[in-house]
């Protein structure tokens, strides 16, 4: 489909500005050199080519059929294409069908019938409700919508669930060179994973952008992201549907369920996918990562500016984007100081504009000194690319090109205000190979991704976790499959069997058993209700802490038993520390995921959480903890000692082993809180919800 040598255009037309005419025009515009067969019973000739009344009369089986027909005719056209031997099909149709037009009351919807035809005949299918695809170096523009004359071939592949975004990137004037652009639409048969597999097998693909509404082939996508990581091809993803409102819109638009964003975060972290939030960030990231230059070392960014105010803005936004500046050496600062005008301070980031006299030399030499410093990972020339005019070998354009030619580290020009950029001058830089990033915030985000790429490449191979004995795994699989709910004591035993530290706990249902349990555990203890059906004990006043002796235990038990019944759990008190939460959640697309979050009541108040795709080793667990906004609490706060982050990371690792072994039997598992202190961590409460069959 994507490298077709012969194309049938079904619905071809001689009428200007129609879909039928535009399909042929786009094949001509792209310079397609293969065979083209217009198909329309109304014409004998279209665009100087013989026109056939049916695709069944085309003299050869075609690689690709582009179907520019209405919904009511699409099924017949699809059947004809299959019978004619077409290997692939593009359809732009929405595939919406009036229920009264369905062939029979038991007939599946039109979308399903179209998919069935394609699968039965082994056909690739782009769409429906998309805009087709552009294989730029092959000259194949399989679309019915206008595309630019000057679309460049290059190293970028873009696969988009949004047709408008597909068109916007095609028409972007920033000159990104595309290997492939795909508007995949509803993905009835051929999915984003399939297009990604195609792109990754092309040596011309250097970076891939994904505009992602939903995941229709989770296992396929996961496999291709793993392949991209292995082949060192950066993937930049812009997922939409992060909020409840936008998720509902995506569902209504695409006819597919939008995945939980946390699951995508886990997937992206596992395979080094770079997530962006806006189309501006996506464009800057694709341009920067399409450059062949990669970070080889260093400790941060060096930047040179011509404005003190814009430098300060850059520093502010760099903090927001978590972009560190390189701590350059005193020798480097001395070399810079020697070329600056009097009154300017040698620093990184550097404001190098003084009197303006001999400015080109000052900028050039200062940037070369910064780039040569071993602490510098990448260099940015941050100036407003306003219209300069000839001669183009002087001024900022000349400086940037001279620095590019004399260096090997990643280098880019960042313009602070996109609307002020002179397009022809940005094009001169891009023609020289220099990335031009169009905006301070989006440019810094792209530079952050460049640093992340280096960090991912250096990530050590995951260390296999110690498995539990087969007998332990089998016993818990049998228990989770049983119909009886798990009490908290059982849940704590499950965690302990998988190597997660827990508080000592005993179940009790009489006063005598409660006192006996407290004496065995040792004071102080907590008394918690174990009443069936109570998931959140504190919400119903079912938790009494710090009972120091038998009399206090009797009083606490009487109070809880009177209100909530006789069944309780007696537990040891956890040491003072930071309350965190761990969990297993079940994603409908990617299965069990592990979670770490702010604990106690903060888990719901702050929604501060990070998810991981099991299996995780300790290093991966630590990365999840580092992503939390509440991470600083673990370093010690208001005089408290620092907590043992390593112990929390190891607990996450052990929970991921549990998720791999038992996740198919668990709907949800909540450990809240797990208390972390300087000497380790301990789970103080757990709720396990087994996955019950739908019947």
pLDDT score of 606: 64
The answer to whether 653 and 616 are in contact (CB under 8 A) is yes
Q: What angle do CA 563, 567, 569 make, to 5 degrees?
A: 110
Domain end call among 539, 555, 572: 572
The answer to whether 55 and 8 are in contact (CB under 8 A) is yes
Residues 311 and 226 in one domain: no
Peptide bond into 424 cis (omega under 30): no
Domain end call among 572, 596, 611: 572
Q: Is residue 488 part of a domain?
A: no
Domain end call among 275, 308, 326: 275
Residues 208 and 236 in one domain: yes
Residues 317 and 443 in one domain: yes
Burial class of residue 331 (count of CB atoms within 10 Å of its CB; 0-12, 13-18, 19+): exposed
Q: Is residue 168 part of a domain?
A: yes
Q: Token pair 């009036």 is at which residue?
A: 98
Please say whether the dihedral angle defined by the alpha carbons of residues 488, 494, 496 and 498, taken in this order, is positive or negative: negative
CATH of the domain at 539: 3.30.1490.20
Residues 544 and 626 in one domain: no
Q: Is residue 138 part of a domain?
A: no
Residues 106 and 172 in one domain: no
Q: Token pair 């009790």 is at which residue?
A: 508
Residues 601 and 629 in one domain: yes
Contacts with 599 (C-beta within 8 Å, 6 or more apart), sequence order:
578, 579, 580, 581, 672, 673, 674, 675
pLDDT score of 252: 38
Cα distance between residue 348 and residue 299, in whole Å: 12
The kind and range of the H/E element at 262 are helix 261-271
Residues 372 and 412 in one domain: yes
Residues 634 and 544 in one domain: no
- Alpha helix (H) ranges present in 458-544? 470-481, 488-497, 511-521
Q: Is residue 467 part of a domain?
A: no
Cα distance between residue 22 and residue 15, in whole Å: 9
Residues 345 and 384 in one domain: yes
CATH of the domain at 627: 3.30.470.20
Burial class of residue 36 (count of CB atoms within 10 Å of its CB; 0-12, 13-18, 19+): buried
Q: Which two tokens stand for residue 551?
A: 């009399």
Q: How many residues does the chain have?
A: 695
Domain count, the chain: 5
Chunked mean pLDDT (size 10), the chain, 695 residues: 98 96 97 97 96 97 96 95 97 88 84 96 95 97 95 96 95 92 96 98 96 94 97 96 51 42 92 96 97 96 96 97 98 97 96 92 97 98 84 83 97 95 92 96 98 94 94 97 93 98 96 95 95 85 94 95 94 94 93 91 72 96 93 84 95 98 96 95 95 66
Cα distance between residue 390 and residue 398, in whole Å: 11
Residues 114 and 221 in one domain: no
CATH of the domain at 250: 3.40.50.261
pLDDT score of 242: 58
**Where in the sequence is the domain holding 565, given as residue range(s)?**
504-572
- pTM, rounded to two decimals: 0.91
Contacts with 64 (C-beta within 8 Å, 6 or more apart), sequence order:
1, 4, 6, 7, 8, 86, 87, 88, 89, 90, 140, 142
To the nearest 10 degrees (0 to 180), the angle between helices 440-457 and 308-321 is 50
pLDDT score of 255: 39
Q: Is residue 139 part of a domain?
A: no
Cα distance between residue 126 and residue 142, in whole Å: 10
Q: What DSSP string runs through 345-369?
A: PP-SSEE--SSSTTHHHHHHHHHHH
CATH of the domain at 70: 3.40.50.720
Residues 154 and 251 in one domain: yes
77 closest CA partner among 130, 4, 12, 135: 12
Residues 512 and 632 in one domain: no
To the nearest 10 degrees (0 to 180), the angle between helices 440-457 and 279-290 is 50
pLDDT score of 107: 86
Cα distance between residue 481 and residue 666, in whole Å: 9
């Amino acid at each position: 489909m994507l490298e077709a040598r012969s194309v049938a255009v079904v619905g071809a037309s001689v009428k200007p500005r129609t879909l039928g005419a535009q399909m042929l025009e786009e094949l001509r515009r792209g310079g397609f050199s293969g065979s083209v067969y217009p198909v329309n019973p109304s014409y004998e000739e279209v665009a100087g080519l013989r026109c056939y009344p049916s695709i069944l009369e085309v003299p050869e089986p075609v690689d690709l059929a582009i179907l520019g027909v209405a919904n009511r005719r699409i099924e017949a056209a699809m059947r004809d294409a299959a019978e004619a031997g077409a290997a692939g099909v593009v359809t732009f149709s929405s595939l919406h069908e009036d229920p009264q037009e369905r062939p029979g009351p038991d007939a599946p919807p039109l979308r399903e019938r179209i998919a069935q035809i394609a699968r039965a005949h082994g056909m690739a299918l782009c769409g429906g409700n998309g805009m087709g695809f552009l294989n730029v170096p092959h000259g194949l523009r399989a679309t019915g919508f206008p595309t630019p004359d000057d679309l460049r071939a290059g190293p970028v592949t873009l696969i988009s669930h949004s047709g408008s975004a597909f068109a916007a990137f095609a028409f972007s004037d920033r000159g990104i060179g595309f290997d492939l652009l795909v508007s995949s639409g509803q993905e009835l048969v051929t999915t984003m994973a399939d297009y990604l597999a195609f792109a990754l097998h092309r040596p011309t693909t250097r970076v891939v952008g994904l505009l992602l509404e939903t995941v229709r082939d989770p296992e396929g996508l996961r496999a291709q992201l793993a392949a991209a990581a292995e082949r060192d091809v950066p993937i930049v993803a812009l997922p939409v549907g992060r909020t409840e409102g936008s998720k509902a819109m995506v569902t209504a638009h695409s006819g597919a369920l939008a995945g939980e964003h946390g699951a995508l975060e886990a997937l992206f972290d596992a395979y080094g996918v770079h997530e962006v939030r806006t189309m501006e960030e996506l464009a800057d990231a694709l341009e920067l990562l399409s450059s062949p230059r990669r970070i080889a070392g260093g400790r941060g960014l060096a930047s040179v500016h011509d404005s003190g105010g814009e430098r300060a803005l850059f520093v502010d936004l760099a903090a927001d984007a978590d972009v560190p500046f390189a701590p350059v050496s005193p020798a480097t600062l001395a070399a810079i100081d020697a070329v600056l005008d009097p009154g300017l301070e040698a620093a990184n980031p550097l404001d190098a504009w003084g009197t303006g006299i001999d400015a080109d030399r000052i900028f050039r030499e200062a940037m070369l000194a910064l780039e040569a410093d071993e602490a510098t990972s990448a260099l940015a020339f941050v100036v407003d690319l306003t219209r300069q005019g000839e001669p183009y070998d002087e001024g900022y354009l000349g400086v940037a090109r001279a620095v590019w030619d004399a260096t090997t580290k990643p280098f880019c020009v960042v313009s602070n205000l996109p609307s002020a950029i002179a397009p022809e001058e940005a094009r001169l830089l891009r023609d020289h190979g220099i990335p031009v990033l169009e905006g301070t915030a989006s440019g810094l985000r792209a530079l952050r991704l460049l640093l992340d790429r280096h960090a991912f490449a250096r990530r050590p191979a995951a260390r296999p976790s110690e498995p539990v004995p087969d007998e332990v795994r089998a016993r818990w699989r049998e228990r989770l499959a049983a119909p009886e709910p798990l009490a908290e004591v059982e849940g704590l035993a499950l965690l302990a069997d998988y190597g997660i530290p827990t508080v000592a706990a005993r179940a009790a249902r009489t006063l005598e058993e409660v006192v006996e349990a407290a004496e065995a555990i040792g004071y102080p203890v907590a008394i918690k209700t174990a009443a069936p059906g109570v998931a959140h004990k504190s919400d119903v006043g079912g938790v009494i802490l710090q009972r120091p002796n038998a009399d206090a235990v009797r009083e606490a038990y009487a109070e809880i038993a009177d209100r909530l019944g006789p069944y309780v759990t007696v537990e040891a008190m956890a040491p003072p520390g930071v309350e965190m939460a761990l969990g297993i959640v079940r994603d409908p697309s990617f299965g069990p995921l592990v979670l770490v979050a702010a604990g106690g009541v903060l888990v719901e108040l702050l929604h501060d959480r990070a998810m991981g795709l099991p299996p995780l080793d300790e290093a991966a667990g630590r990365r999840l903890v580092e992503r939390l906004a509440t991470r600083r609490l673990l370093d010690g706060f208001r005089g408290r000692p620092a907590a043992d982050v390593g112990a929390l990371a190891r607990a996450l690792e052990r929970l991921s082993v549990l998720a791999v072994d038992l996740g198919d039997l668990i709907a949800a598992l909540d450990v809240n809180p797990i208390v972390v202190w300087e000497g380790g961590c301990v789970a103080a409460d757990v709720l396990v919800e087994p996955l019950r069959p739908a019947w």
